[in-house]
Amino acid sequence: MSVLVAGPEPVTSRDDLVAVLERGCKPKSEWRIGTEHEKFPFHISDHSPVPYGEALVDGGKGIRAMLEGLTRFGWLPVYEGTTIIGLESPRGGGNISLEPGGQFELSGAPLETLHQTCAELHDHLAQVREVGGELGLGFLGLGFTPNWHRDQIPVMPKGRYKIMTEYMKKVGTMGLDMMYRSCTVQVNLDFASEPDMVKKLRVAVALQPLATAIFANSPFTEGKPNGYKSFRSHVWTDTDNARAGMIPFIFESGFGFEQYVDYALDVPMYFVYRDGRYNDVTGQSFRDFMVGKLKGLEGETPTRGDWVNHLTTIFPEARLKNYLEMRGADGGPWARICALPAFWVGLLYDQASLDAAWDLVKDWTAEERQTLRDNVARQGLQTPFRNGTLLDIGRRAVEISRAGLQARAQGDGAGSPDETIFLSIVEEVVATGKSPADILLEAYNGRWDHSVDPVFKEYAF
């Protein structure tokens, strides 16, 4: 994958904004896989959420101490003012960041193979377990907090989250739940050209409800079943519809980088970062910014960094930067984190598989795509579609993905000829028709005796 670099260069025209996206075009030999995953920290003693807390040197046992403890492995601290808010690799190998409620996120390095992705994940989780164990902290792989009320969740000390928190209250009913109580896994992938980007983005958006169903892993809220397979996905249906959803315009004739820029120009902004502080510009557009009419920053010229920051605050089911982000999956345990990039790499990184995936979805109507999105959070793989269910589509899509991984023929050098091993858990889901949520609900109604507490042991990293 490519990396968006937030530079200080001024952007003064639509062409400048398009150029940021065009920089993502690169030959297949340079395509990479970037995997991001979030997880909930909790106190092992009582399964309560973890506050930011005091410094490690002062005996702190919260998020701050966790970040400071991980520096023993070579991670470099990232500060907002004098507050440590994340970590970065000294070798460009990804970063660790905090979501609003303390969700701990690894944004992995751009890697060539899924074998490397899972090795990176293994190393990260080993480090997290070592430091977390010393602090009495565990980490949970789920899509939504299973028993915490929103008012229990601590707030991380990041300026942008203060702005977003106040704005979310104005634009939807579940934005704060998204910010403070949800976790996701996503994969970031490259494209060769504008036509390649268009086909991949269309496939990604059309099949995102399928990814939601396969990886559905959030059936509990505040200690009880909530009636959904993916409550995290449901939350996104009324978070901020001006910046989320199925972006149907990408299926229109003539869609390309310019049309995505036009869309992003009118998505309301959150903030502009200047001189070490976040300036609240909520509700105003980047189009206003381009002509110097941003209230509070009149006459200010936007930079490429401002545009990059703005692109990160747009939340469709699949997102275009100068790479593509697949955003539809719930957080989950180790094997499922590796499985998500396997599913999408198999579909999108082999031309024959990409063509087959496009053939699978190209005649779907905008209404059909939206209906899938509307219903999948509750019904999962059993969501009706045409003369069958989404599970029927899933079985075909997983076959296509497997063929794509086989065609890539990326072995591990130790006996595995390709990356299909990482798809096995997805193949089990579509073979049985049981998502992770279905398995959780079976446990809740059976051996867990109607308690969600066992999830903190069985789904902890």
pLDDT tens figures, 11-46: 999 999 999 999 999 999 999 999 999 999 999 999
> In the prediction, which pLDDT does 6 show?
52
* Amino acid 99: pLDDT: 98
88 contacts 78 by C-beta, under 8 angstroms: yes
pLDDT of residue 92: 75
- pLDDT in the model for residue 399: 98
The per-residue b/e assignment along 315-325, b for 16 or more CB within 10 angstroms, e otherwise, is: bbbbbbbbbbb
Q: Give the Cα-Cα-Cα angle 369, 375, 380 (nearest 5 degrees).
A: 105
Tokens matching residue 189: 């992938």
Say if CB 115 and CB 416 are below 8 A apart.
Answer: yes
Q: DSSP secondary structure string, 203-261?
A: HHHHHHHHHHHHT--B-EETTEE-S-SBHHHHHGGGS-TTSEE--GGGGSTT-SHHHHH
Minimum mean pLDDT range among 178-182, 224-228, 332-336: 332-336
Tokens matching residue 403: 């063929």
Per-domain residue ranges of the chain: 22-229+331-458
Query: Domain 22-229+331-458 belongs to what topology?
Result: Creatine Kinase; Chain A, domain 2 (3.30.590)
Written as six digits, the tokens of 321 are 């930067």
Q: What is the CA radius of gyration of the chain?
A: 21
- Which pLDDT score, from 0 to 100, does residue 335 have? 85
Is there a contact between 240 and 260 (Cβ–Cβ < 8 Å)? Answer: no
What's the chain's average pLDDT? 96
Q: Which of 140-149, 193-202, 332-341 has the lowest mean pLDDT?
A: 332-341
CA distance 36 to 178: 17
Distance separating the N- and C-terminal Cα atoms of the chain: 26
Res. 361 pLDDT band, cuts 50 70 90: very high
Mean pLDDT along residues 220-244: 97
User: 460: which DSSP letter?
Assistant: B
Is pLDDT above 50 for 5? no
| pLDDT (average), residues 234-238 | 98
